[in-house]
């Protein structure tokens, strides 16, 4: 009996594959948002099966084939199969669309992984529209030369605090060397096995799926480069959503002090709508196991924010870093990092 049921199912699937309408659907479904996919799946059993396949393929690789290794979603706590956002391996490739424009679509979960590459981002140089020089940086801890600080959104209610990070130079487009050059560690994408695991309290969390030695590059914090004006508008929108719907946003502000010591370059990276696996890294009050490094490639105006292992990391360990130390709101979002020195609330700072 069971085997005849299996045969029926296999027969249905073979029939589905031969139907021209379903072959078209296979091409279209990967371009749909989860909401659109759910609506389509209600229309017929074959479309429900096709939509389910798309969801399964999406949950098997958050990076949609754009990184050297797949990064799966694992969820044992609720029914969400994956988080939906547009994937970019590196910040420098994307541009924020105008406020009122819909985000471009990106194919995800199709039978062919190569479709993900046809993302419709405008083909313009990001660097001519982002990166604000701010005179008289208000960061008190940075002394000016060769230092940088960053702050980020800790789940609403303003940006987070400012943290000193290291600045590193790598080879760039103008250097004669190729992609295998040892001085391009952060330019080859995610080369360590990672997985994204759902937690009841923290939402999605990025985990190491292999041991990672201290100092090794883990991933970039990739997202949309925004102007400061756009960042402030978005921050306000995210704060409201965080308070009303428990929304998780991922907007970081990096300030790199210019050599004069009298100005800093403010870079706003928003991974909320367009990002990479870095957007799943949670905060830890003890500093976690990742260090943040600003990497500037020769010839590039804007640096990229990159994560390196700050200690030896075991397979199965959650990856985390400190979002900062300032908490401007005593009623900020609750922190569940579990560190012995946990403050109880996530860092936050005024935008
Ligand atoms: C950059 S995202 C990290 C990924 C996020 N957990 C998700 O589900 O997409 C930042 C958000 O994660 C959550 N988060 C990060 N660290 C946390 C922590 N230690 N405790 C509770 N929530 C945390 C907050 O909602 C914050 O706004």
pLDDT the model gives residue 155:
41
Q: What are the 10-residue block averages of pLDDT along the chain, 351 residues in total?
A: 45 62 89 95 94 97 96 97 93 58 84 51 38 44 41 43 64 84 91 97 97 97 88 86 77 75 78 94 96 87 90 98 77 89 84 61
Distance 270 CA to ligand 1 centre (A): 14
Nearest atom in ligand 1 to the alpha carbon of residue 271 is: 1
Indicate whether residue 148 lines ligand 1 (CB < 6 A): no
CA of 280 to the centre of ligand 1 (A): 7
Q: Which residue out of 283, 320, 338, 343 has the highest number of ligand 1 atoms within 8 Å of its CB and is therefore the one to mutate?
A: 283
Q: Residue 42 and residue 30: Cα distance in Å, rounded? A: 16
State the pLDDT at residue 118: 38
**What is d(CA 260, CA 233) in angstroms, rounded to the nearest whole number?**
30
> Is the beta carbon of 235 within 6 A of some atom in ligand 1?
no
pLDDT at 6: 46
CA of 85 to the centre of ligand 1 (A): 15
Q: How far apart are the first and last CA of the chain?
A: 64
Q: Identify the pLDDT of residue 348.
A: 75
Whole-number Å distance between alpha carbons of 123 and 118: 12
CB 96 within 8 A of CB 270: yes
Please tell me what DSSP assigns to residue 240. Answer: H
- Identify the pLDDT of residue 40: 95
How far is the centre of ligand 1, averaged over its atoms, from the C-alpha of 312 (Å)? 23
- Ligand 1 contact via 249 beta carbon (within 6 Å): yes
Which of 94, 109, 307, 272 is closest to 189 using CA atoms? 307
Domains within the chain, CATH numbers bracketed = 1-60 (no CATH), 62-321 (2.170.270.10)
Please report how many Cα atoms fall inside a 13 Å half-sphere around the Cα of residue 116, on the Cβ side: 22
How far is the centre of ligand 1, averaged over its atoms, from the C-alpha of 101 (Å)?
Answer: 27
CA dihedral 99, 333, 206, 68 (to 10 degrees): 10
The DSSP result for 3-69, as a single string, is: HHHHHHHHHHHHHHHH-HHHHHHHHHGGGS-HHHHHHHHTS-HHHHHHHHHHHHHHHH-TTTT-SSS
Take atom 24 of ligand 1 and give the residue whose Cα is closest.
155
Q: What is the ipTM of this complex?
A: 0.99
CA distance 337 to 323: 11
Pairing of strands 263-275, 304-309: unpaired
- Cβ of 250 below 6 Å from ligand 1: yes
Q: Count CB atoms within 10 A of the CB of residue 189.
A: 17
Q: What's this model's pTM, rounded to 2 decimal places?
A: 0.83
């Amino acid at each position: 009996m069971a085997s005849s049921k299996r045969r029926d199912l296999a027969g249905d699937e073979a029939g589905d594959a031969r139907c021209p309408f379903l072959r078209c659907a296979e091409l279209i479904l990967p371009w749909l948002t989860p909401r659109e996919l759910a609506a389509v799946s209600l229309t017929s059993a074959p479309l429900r099966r096709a939509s389910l396949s798309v969801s399964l393929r999406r949950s098997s690789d958050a990076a949609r084939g754009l990184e050297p290794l797949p990064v799966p979603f694992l969820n044992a706590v609720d029914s969400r199969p994956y988080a939906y956002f547009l994937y970019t391996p590196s910040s420098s490739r994307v541009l924020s669309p105008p406020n009122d424009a819909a985000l471009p679509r990106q194919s995800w979960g199709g039978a062919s992984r190569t479709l993900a590459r046809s993302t419709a981002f405008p083909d313009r140089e990001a660097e001519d529209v982002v990166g604000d020089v701010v005179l008289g940086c208000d960061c008190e801890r940075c002394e000016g030369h060769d230092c940088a600080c960053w702050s980020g959104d800790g789940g609403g209610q303003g940006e987070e605090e400012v943290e000193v990070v290291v600045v590193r130079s790598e080879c760039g487009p103008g250097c004669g060397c190729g992609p295998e050059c040892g001085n391009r560690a952060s330019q080859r994408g995610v080369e360590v096995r990672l997985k994204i695991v759902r937690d009841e309290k923290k939402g999605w969390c990025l985990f190491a799926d292999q041991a990672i030695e201290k100092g090794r590059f883990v991933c970039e914090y990739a997202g949309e480069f925004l102007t400061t004006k756009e960042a402030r508008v978005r921050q306000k929108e995210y704060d409201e959503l965080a308070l009303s719907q428990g929304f998780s946003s991922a907007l970081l502000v990096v300030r790199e002090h210019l050599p004069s010591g009298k100005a800093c370059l403010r870079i706003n990276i928003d991974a909320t709508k367009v990002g990479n696996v870095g957007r799943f890294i949670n905060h830890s009050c003890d500093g976690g196991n990742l260090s943040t490094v600003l990497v500037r490639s020769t010839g590039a105006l804007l640096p990229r924010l990159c994560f390196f292992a700050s200690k030896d990391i075991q397979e199965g360990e959650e990856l985390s870093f400190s979002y900062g130390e300032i908490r401007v709101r005593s009623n900020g979002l609750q922190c569940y990092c579990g560190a012995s020195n946990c403050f109880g609330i996530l860092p936050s700072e005024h935008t």
